[in-house]
Structure 1
């Protein structure tokens, strides 16, 4: 993966000859004042955003002349409004949410993709496993009714008759599966399966992305105005993300330690966070030099357009803008 020098062009230009003169005198210069920006997270603080925490802790953004606030999201804190209002320079959304906002007039572009594979999964128990979409036939699936379009899209992509699956409305909890009320659950691969593992319960996880469900998750969104008029700041924030997530990939346990140290009062369980951190890796990183962190390809965009159409989202490839990542990796 491309590495980036600590002394950015912005800092070099802002300090210039004064830095050279003070350095010769053995004095450490004070750099120009940082620009305050915010990154709007999509959920509450946890290891889900550990690469961002590392970027802040290690000063990757400071080296780019940015003072970045990490604003948590949550059930009552959607990502898109603060980005539209300019309270956050970049937000972490998802292709389905971003496309819905754009359909309502939001001036967004997706400028990076943290999770190349969507985390939606079908979790089941080894005694009655769901390993392929075809295994869903005749099964009772526990899920939120609001996620019915997700299941419909998976079935359409795999030529499965959804009428052969019994949908059981459930809370977002592993208990209905463990207690035998349902045969499987629609969930994120990084949470309910982890919760069961922490209780010593083995599970089978079928990642929907492995069966055609292509919706970019943890996507970086920015407004057209920010891309046009604050481009250097947007690129600097993305570059810090790339550096932070590279450190995360290299040592997920250390990334977990950073998360717990930064948010000691968040009620995070260390072993649960460690396991979640490990399970995020295959969703975010390919190991391919031509498809590094944050990158997206024309083929992946085309696959997203197909799945989004099944979800009722009519968008074009113009929603994605790779030019800022090209500057980051340039």
Structure 2
């Protein structure tokens, strides 16, 4: 996966990138959300990804390559790469650059608080991938074990790092925070006891290097936030509900395939959709297995992929508050659409 600094900025702060970006121009100022031609009763739409085309979007690759989007009534679903210096999903929705996007509550919430009419209608990752990564020979197994340790934290991760400490009543002064630029050699050389990274990449990369790694998830220790959230304009919910439901049903089918076949997921990422990124198939396969653990949770098994229980929604609202973002659940989430999708087609549930 790509380095953490830019993606962490986009996913956990996003404030400067948005500006909150509500008046910026898209690709050409036209609206992708209008359907814009193409075959199929719903026309063609654009889905903006939260990052570059790596394994994180395996479900989208299956939905596209196996024709689930077209079967659902879409002439084309164009997958727009995110990350880098590109436009954020929230700005893309505001300008019409995309019809739907994959984001995260810590980016969408600030946009909504500044007046953007957006809603989260589903969550691919039921758990955010943020973790503290350490060595197996000197594991940091929970937040309390951070005290007295040297932890690498990028400036762009300050928001989520401070929220983790607050959630666990840890005095920031009790942990030595070390400037970090996503270089795992600082951990293996002993300069750090651990670092803030993504569980889907950090431990896997160390494993591929023959290094035994340990980690704990922020989501399991007082900061349960979802990620890779499907975000749309309120107008889409109000006027294109059937279209949105058809899209999400196709997405679910794609993700069911991705969950069932990590190796094929990696092949699609490395050899087709992300072929310009020089991705390693073996590493992407291991990352696919790791991310499946964030997608398939007991709630997802019980209620269906992308769904969020009322308890999980409230936990996210509480986590956002710890990050300094106070917002009401009804102003950020609308899970009624995904609930209707699963109710209409029970076969979409995980077996």
TM-score (norm 1): 0.88
- Which one of 288, 298, 310 corresponds to residue 310 of structure 2? 298
* Count of residues paired in the alignment: 300
Residues 147-158 of structure 1 mapped to structure 2, 5 A cutoff: 147-158=157-168
Show the counterpart of 1:73.
82
Show the counterpart of 1:55.
63
Residues 278-293 of structure 1 mapped to structure 2, 5 A cutoff: 278-287=289-298, 289-293=301-305
Deviation of 1:316 (Å) = 0.5
Alignment of 1:134 with 2:144, yes or no, is yes
Show the counterpart of 1:274.
285
Asked whether the equivalents of residues 61 and 237 of structure 1 are also in contact (C-alpha less than 8 Å), the reply is: yes
Asked whether the equivalents of residues 90 and 221 of structure 1 are also in contact (C-alpha less than 8 Å), the reply is: yes
Deviation of 1:162 (Å) = 1.8
Alignment of 1:167 with 2:180, yes or no, is no
RMSD of Structure 2 on Structure 1 (CA) = 1.4
Residues 158-237 of structure 1 mapped to structure 2, 5 A cutoff: 158-237=168-247
Asked whether the equivalents of residues 304 and 342 of structure 2 are also in contact (C-alpha less than 8 Å), the reply is: no
Which 5+ residue runs of structure 2 have no aligned equivalent? 1-38, 344-351
- Distance, in Å, in 2 between the alignment partners of 1:193 and 1:44 is 20
Q: Based on CA coordinates, which of the two structures has the bigger radius of gyration?
A: 1
Where do 4+ consecutive residues of structure 1 move more than 6 Å?
none
201-210 or 148-157, which moves further after superposition?
A: 148-157
Show the counterpart of 1:317.
329
Show the counterpart of 2:340.
327
Deviation of 1:147 (Å) = 1.6
- Distance, in Å, in 2 between the alignment partners of 1:32 and 1:144 is 45
Show the counterpart of 1:23.
none
Q: 1:325 and 1:32, CA in 2 relative to 1: closer, same or farther beyond 3 A?
A: closer
- Distance, in Å, in 1 between the alignment partners of 2:41 and 2:277 is 31
Deviation of 1:115 (Å) = 0.6
237-246 or 147-156, which moves further after superposition?
A: 147-156
Which 5+ residue runs of structure 1 have no aligned equivalent? 1-30
Deviation of 1:229 (Å) = 1.5
Deviation of 1:240 (Å) = 0.9
Asked whether the equivalents of residues 40 and 70 of structure 2 are also in contact (C-alpha less than 8 Å), the reply is: no
TM-score (norm 2): 0.82
Asked whether the equivalents of residues 90 and 234 of structure 1 are also in contact (C-alpha less than 8 Å), the reply is: no
Asked whether the equivalents of residues 173 and 192 of structure 1 are also in contact (C-alpha less than 8 Å), the reply is: no
Asked whether the equivalents of residues 93 and 219 of structure 1 are also in contact (C-alpha less than 8 Å), the reply is: yes
Alignment of 1:64 with 2:76, yes or no, is no
- Distance, in Å, in 2 between the alignment partners of 1:186 and 1:260 is 26
Deviation of 1:33 (Å) = 6.0
- Which one of 61, 84, 99 corresponds to residue 94 of structure 2? 84
Deviation of 1:34 (Å) = 5.5
